[in-house]
Amino acid sequence: MIRFDDVVLRYPRTPRPAVHGVSLTAPRGVITAIVGPNGSGKSTLIRALLGRLHPERGTVTLDGANIAALARREVARVLAFVPQREEPAFPLQVRDFVALGRYAHGTMWGVESAADRLAVAAAIERAGATEFLHRRTDELSGGEWQRVRIARALAQGGDALVLDEPTAFLDIAHEMAVFELLDTLARDGRAVLLVSHQLNLVARFASRIALLHRGALIAFGPPDDVMRGDLLERVYDWPLVVSRDPAVGAPMLVPLRGRAPQWRSSFNSQESE
Amino acid sequence: MPLRTWCLLVFAVMVAIAAGLTIGAVSLPIGDVWRALGGVGDPSVVAIVQSLRLPRVVLGLAVGAGLGMSGAAMQATLRNPLAEPYLLGVSGGAAVGAVAAIALRIAAPALLPVAAFAGAALAVAIVLGVARAAGAQNDPRVLVMAGVVVGAFANAAIMVVLANAPAEDVRGALWWMMGSLNDASWNAVRWIGLYVAIGGAALLAFGREIELLALGEDPAAALGVDVARATRRVYLLASLLAAVTVAGAGLIGFVGLVVPAIVRGLGARSARTVIIGAALAGAALLVAADVVARTARAPAELPLGAVTALIGVPFFLMRLRRLR
Q: Domain segments of chain A: what residues?
A: 2-231
Q: What angle do CA B125, B127, B132 make, to 5 degrees?
A: 90
pTM for the whole thing?
Answer: 0.85
B205: which chain A residues are within 8 Å (Cβ-Cβ)? 108-109
Quick one: CA torsion of B269, A85, A18, A76, rounded to 10 degrees?
-50
CATH of the domain at B228: 1.10.3470.10
Q: Give the pLDDT confidence score for residue A4 in this predicted structure.
A: 95
Tell which wins on pLDDT, B173 or A171: A171
Instruction: For residue A20, give Cα distances in angstroms to A6, A47, A65, A237.
Output: 8, 14, 21, 20
CA dihedral sign, ordered B262, B69, B218, B236: negative
B277 touches B268 (CB < 8 A): yes
A106: which chain B residues are within 8 Å (Cβ-Cβ)? 208
Contacts of A145 (CB under 8 A, 6+ apart): A137
A71-75, A95-99, A106-110, B293-297: least confidently modelled range = A106-110
A163 interfacial to chain B (CB closer than 8 Å): no
Asked if A86 lies within 8 A of B264 by C-beta distance, the reply is: no
- Identify the band that residue A270 occupies on the pLDDT scale cut at 50, 70 and 90: very low
A241 beta partners: A254
B residues 156-195 closer than 8 Å to A (CB): none
Instruction: For residue A119, give Cα distances in angstroms to A159, A209, B94, B166, B208.
Output: 14, 31, 45, 66, 18
pLDDT, tens digit, 9 for 90 and up, residues A183-241: 999 999 999 999 999 999 999 999 999 999 999 999 999 999 999 999 998 998 888 88
A32-46, A168-182, B64-78: least confidently modelled range = A168-182
Q: Give the pLDDT confidence score for residue A260 in this predicted structure.
A: 58
Q: Do you find a cis peptide bond into A37, omega within 30 degrees of 0?
A: no
pLDDT, tens digit, 9 for 90 and up, residues A135-162: 999 889 888 898 899 999 999 988 999 9
Q: Give the pLDDT confidence score for residue A12 in this predicted structure.
A: 80
Asked if B80 lies within 8 A of A89 by C-beta distance, the reply is: yes
Q: Give the pLDDT confidence score for residue B138 in this predicted structure.
A: 59
Pick from A52, A96, A109: which is nearest to B269 by CB?
A96
Q: Is the pLDDT of residue A273 over 80?
A: no
**What number does CATH give the domain A2-231?**
3.40.50.300
- Tell me the mean pLDDT in the region A166-188: 89
Beta-sheet pairing, A160-164 with A79-82: parallel
A88 interfacial to chain B (CB closer than 8 Å): yes
Q: Give the pLDDT confidence score for residue B324 in this predicted structure.
A: 55
Q: Is the pLDDT of residue A168 over 70?
A: yes
How high is the mean pLDDT in each 10-residue block of chain B (324 residues)? Answer: 90 95 88 89 89 94 96 90 84 87 77 86 86 69 82 86 76 76 86 93 93 90 89 88 88 90 89 95 96 86 89 81 65
Q: Give the pLDDT confidence score for residue A95 in this predicted structure.
A: 92
Interface probe for A, chosen from B80, B215, B233, B262 (most Cβ of A below 10 Å), is: B215
- Tell me the mean pLDDT in the region A7-32: 92
Distance CA A8, CA B128 (A): 29
ipTM over 0.90: no
Distance CA A136, CA A133 (A): 8
Q: Give the pLDDT confidence score for residue A151 in this predicted structure.
A: 93
A43 interfacial to chain B (CB closer than 8 Å): no
- The residue in chain B having the minimum alpha-carbon distance to the alpha carbon of residue A88 is B215
B63 touches B193 (CB < 8 A): no
Structurally, how many domains does chain B consist of? 1
Its domain, for residue B169, covers 3-323
Q: Give the pLDDT confidence score for residue B110 in this predicted structure.
A: 76
CA distance A123 to chain B (A): 15
CA distance A126 to chain B (A): 19
Q: Give the pLDDT confidence score for residue A169 in this predicted structure.
A: 79
